[in-house]
Structure 1
Amino acid sequence: MTWLEGALTSLALCWRIERRDGVTIGLTAHDRDLTIGGLVYRAAPGMTPSAILRGASLDADSMDVTGALSSTAIGEADLLAGRWDGARVHVFATDWTAPGETVTLGEGVIGSVETEGQMLTAELKGVAAALERPVVEETSPECRAELGDRRCRMAMAGRRRFATVTGIEGAVLTLDATEPLANCYGGGRLRWFGGANSGIEEGVARSDGATVTLRRPPRFDSPGRIELIEGCDKSLATCAARFGNAANFRGEPYLPGTDLLTRYPGG
């Protein structure tokens, strides 16, 4: 790469950020916009990375990116709403006089995000961060699978329904449709498809008729179209009676715990 060997370098740092909902943006520390691979990298001169440490060990690579919040790129409201949680980031350098050829500096996903005033600090976790997770599961009386995943194997085709939110009062949403079963969506998920909350996923604490109570109030007080996904309380009784799926239950409800020695007859 001859542009790295010259007496006067023309380096420009760039970030390609891909959200989980498919939205992709490009940012560059250069003072002018750059177009690379058909994506326009908007000028964000205040975006600067911390020291990038790369090695052959199994230690997790990490890096912090600090810069000014921009309402046209990454806004504080979207950060607090969780739209950028888990977004994939590719950090590279290019020649700003002839953008195209790049040198990869790091890649990973966005971890913790902090905001202070109009300044943003985001942690970038490298691929090796996955090695810090436990290699085996711990035992638990409740099921460790998620309803409908590859371990649960429950078909979800008829357990997803669309509805419209007609009212919001704190964490309680009023819908234009009633649930098919009592507390059908408790422990499930809700996805927004309209309004200011569009693209955000929420956890459902419980449901009752035409109302749904979220685990926390929605980020924006804006009714809209939603998708409701049934939930499960992860007990063996519910797995067997409601879903008929006890064969795939991923828990140990009858395994003695550490309190076995302290039990007494009738206790």
Structure 2
Amino acid sequence: MAFHDGLKAHLATGTTHVARCWKITRTDGIAFGFTDHDRNLSFGGVTFKADTGLSAVALEQSTGLSVDNTEALGALSDAAVSEADIEAGRFDGAEVEAWLVNWAEIEERTFLFRGTIGEIRRAGGAFQAELRGLTEALNRPLGRIFQKPCTAVLGDAACGFDLDSPGYAAIRAVEAVEDQRVFRWLSFSGFEPGWFTRGRLSVQSGAASGLTGIVKRDWFDERGRVIELWAPLRATVQPGDMIRIDAGCDKRFETCRLKFNNLVNYQGFPDLPGDDWLMAHPVRDGTATGGSRR
């Protein structure tokens, strides 16, 4: 890390007054500032609050491509990091930036760490969050996968399909919900059964606003339309909350052509030979029948 000249001179005096500051930016864009100093500090348009009880253990950093990591410890607070937000997954993958700051001269600071939040543990009114460095991303396998099904996510840059096209999304109020996983409507027409299977349900308002789930099944029963998610949403959804449901895609060649008319962007290889073709070998006499050879 490169130290600010003023901070470097201050540290060389042997009598220091420094503090650590953290900025946490959630994936929904909401940012929080924390410091282990005993009063609030402000710079870069962010106020780093002192009353959050946040602190950090030793930061492990190294050269090369090995992973930097540390942990942050703090108290759960409704005004900062609440147990409900952690349970809902709102801090999963949040971006973290950390500085070492001369609290008497705020301009004298140096950047310590940038990464994301990994595993979060909570107990006894406190939380412990694993902070993963930027090199963590290098542990993920990358590259093109050659397979028959499409590898794109419906609506992403590779797919190129506009989910706001008429007939491919529905926005409506929740009428009934069971276990935060099964949603029911007495009247929900205009889409054939199964249209939303493998699609995405996103909550637009209420306590679970911003959360999403993947649709497991979409069908009609004697009480109306039923949409079931693979896993319960991690916050409470109540009747009257607005949700959006996007059409589902099963990644097949035929679905891309007939349901979405998006064949030009299909990211799979439908003509890829199967294992039986790869194991075939030429024979000198006649047709290979699978029988014993004499």
The answer for unaligned runs of 5 or more in structure 2 is 1-5, 281-288
Aligned partners of 2:212 and 2:233 also within 8 Å: no
User: What RMSD over aligned residues (CA atoms) do the two structures have, in Å?
Assistant: 2.4
Equivalent residue in structure 2 for 1:84, among 91, 96, 109? 91
CA distance in 2, matches of 1:100, 1:189: 45
Q: Equivalent residues in 2 for 1:164-183 (5 A)?
A: 164-170=173-179, 171-175=181-185, 177-178=188-189, 180-183=191-194
CA distance 1:178–1:196, shift in 2 (3 Å): farther
Q: What SS does the aligned partner of 1:199 have? A: coil
Q: What SS does the aligned partner of 1:99 have? A: coil
CA distance 1:222–1:45, shift in 2 (3 Å): closer
Deviation at residue 73 of structure 1 after TM alignment: 0.7
Q: What SS does the aligned partner of 1:161 have? A: strand
Higher deviation after alignment, 174-183 or 222-231: 174-183
- Aligned pair count reads 264
Q: What SS does the aligned partner of 1:43 have? A: coil
The answer for unaligned runs of 5 or more in structure 1 is none
CA distance 1:258–1:116, shift in 2 (3 Å): farther
Match of 1:43 in 2: 50
Identity %: 34
Structure having the higher Rg: 2
1:66 aligns with 2:73: yes
What's the CA shift string for 1:18-71, capped at 9, x where partnerless? 111111110111122222233221115742223223333011222221222222
1:161 aligns with 2:170: yes
CA distance in 2, matches of 1:117, 1:137: 45
Match of 1:216 in 2: 231
Deviation at residue 141 of structure 1 after TM alignment: 3.0
CA distance 1:203–1:3, shift in 2 (3 Å): farther
Q: Equivalent residues in 2 for 1:1-267 (5 A)?
A: 1=6, 2-44=9-51, 46-158=53-165, 159-170=168-179, 171-175=181-185, 177-178=188-189, 180-208=191-219, 210-223=225-238, 224-257=241-274, 261=279
Q: What SS does the aligned partner of 1:213 have? A: strand
Aligned partners of 1:163 and 1:177 also within 8 Å: no
TM-score, normalization by structure 2: 0.80
